[in-house]
Structure 1
Amino acid sequence: MLRPNKHSDPQLTVLPVAGALLKQIKNKRLCTTAELRASLGKPESDRSPLLLPSVSLLFLLSLVEYRRKTDTLEYVGP
């Protein structure tokens, strides 16, 4: 879900998680998925299932690219 409704926690939606991931990727320029997963907190946290939808959103917005050789995400945004 992209927009929160009255029953959801605003911090547990795709947009804030994508923003946090973008901040991490922008600072390091290259990040593995393991580093991104670790930046979200504990594996059992409520934000962990939002990793892939958030990365997909960043990819669709052309802010990141996946590098197959190194298995990393690279920031390519403006």
Structure 2
Amino acid sequence: MLKPDKHTNPVLSTVNIAGLIIEQIRNDEIVSYDDLLSNLVNQTSESVKDVFLYSLSFLYLLDKIEYIPDLDALRLRI
């Protein structure tokens, strides 16, 4: 998944999308799940939906983001 090959689109790689997610959350502090996904679709393409959950899981496993269930939103962990 994280290892690129000749078919990997660098714009839609898990690591790149994770970077865009961090950038968006840094700017807005708390971002709803739907707003984050729609912003990423606008920045990249509709194909980002295939990688979005993998990137969120990657950041969550690294303990970089926190999910707020009441708001259905995400924020950075400090």
Q: TM-score range by the shorter chain?
A: 0.7 to 0.9
CA distance in 2: counterparts of 1:57 and 1:72, whole angstroms: 16
What does the per-residue CA deviation read over 1:14-54, in whole Å, with 9 as the maximum and x for residues that have no partner?
00011101100111110111011111125x71112111111
RMSD (CA atoms):
1.4
Aligned to 1:17: 17
The answer as to 2:51 corresponding to 1:50 is yes
Q: Secondary structure at the match of 1:8?
A: coil
Structure 1, unmatched stretches of 5+, are: none
Tell me if structure 2 keeps the 8 A contact 1:25–1:73. Answer: yes
Q: How many residues align?
A: 76
Runs of 4+ aligned residues of structure 1 deviating over 3 Å after TM superposition are none
Structure 2: runs of 5 or more not aligned: none
Q: Give the number of the structure whose residues are more often helix, by fraction.
A: 2
1:68 corresponding residue in structure 2? 69
- Give percent identity, aligned residues only: 32
Cross-structure match for 1:41: 41
Distance across 1 between alignment mates of 2:35 and 2:3: 26
TM-score, normalized by length of structure 2? 0.86
